């Protein structure tokens, strides 16, 4: 194995390729920035899961779920944000808002659905503003 091949292998270990989901989140962040959103957090892990993007749209806190697929053969990407996922995202959003002292802000949930054949080339971005209401049982948002 030549020096060039060893160097390439070393680079791939240090800088692995981004997954389709990560590339989709990057595209969604760029798209929302062009619309005037301010991205506050990306890939924020909390005890019960991950918030893809947290943004500010004017004075509204927006929790953005990004779904990226290479095709719609098994359904539209946004279909993956079902009732269970909505409940989980609601809990994560409340935890985030409490942790950062943001409970006085209005909040909403958006979904950005990206269809990106082979993860390269031409992609389709669909933005569903206020995609669902906060859900839960026995909480202030029920």
pLDDT for res 12: 59
Token representation of residue 142: 């029920």
The alpha carbon of residue 114 and the mean position of all alpha carbons in its chain are separated, in whole angstroms, by 11
pLDDT tens sequence across 61-117? 999 999 998 888 888 889 899 999 999 999 999 999 999 999 999 999 999 999 988
The better pLDDT of the pair 65, 6 is held by: 65
- What pLDDT is attached to residue 91? 94
Which tokens hold the place of 53? Answer: 């993007």
Comparison of pLDDT for 81 and 7, the residue scoring more:
81
Handedness of CA 20, 22, 50, 82 (dihedral sign): negative
Can you tell me the distance from the alpha carbon of 116 to that of 22, in angstroms, rounded to the nearest whole number?
12
Q: Write down all domains in the chain, each with its CATH number in brackets.
A: 19-132 (3.40.1350.10)
In the prediction, which pLDDT does 6 show? 67
User: Helix (H, G, I), strand (E, B), or coil: what is residue 23?
Assistant: helix
β-pairing verdict for 60-69 and 106-115: parallel
Backbone angles phi, psi at 111, to 5 degrees: -125, 130
- Please write the tens of the pLDDT for every residue from 11-41: 556 655 568 788 889 999 999 999 999 999 9
Structure tokens that stand for 42 in this block: 């990306």
- Asked whether the whole model's pTM tops 0.85, one would answer no
Q: What is the pLDDT of residues 124-139, one digit of tens each?
A: 999 999 999 998 764 5
Please report the pLDDT score of residue 142 as a whole number. Answer: 39
- Separation of alpha carbons 12 and 43, rounded Å: 22
């Amino acid at each position: 194995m030549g020096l060039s091949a060893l160097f390439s292998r070393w680079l791939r270990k240090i800088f692995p390729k981004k997954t389709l989901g990560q590339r989709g989140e990057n595209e969604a962040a760029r798209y929302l920035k062009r619309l005037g959103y301010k991205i506050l957090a990306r890939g924020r892990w909390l005890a019960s899961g991950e918030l893809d993007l947290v943004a500010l749209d004017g004075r509204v806190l927006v929790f953005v779920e990004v779904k990226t697929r290479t095709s719609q053969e098994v359904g539209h990407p946004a279909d993956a944000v079902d009732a269970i996922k909505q409940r989980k995202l609601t809990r994560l959003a409340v935890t985030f808002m409490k942790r950062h002292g943001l409970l006085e802000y209005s909040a909403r949930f958006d979904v950005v659905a990206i269809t990106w054949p082979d993860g390269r080339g031409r992609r389709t971005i669909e933005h569903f503003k206020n995609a669902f209401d906060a859900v839960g049982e026995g909480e202030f948002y029920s």
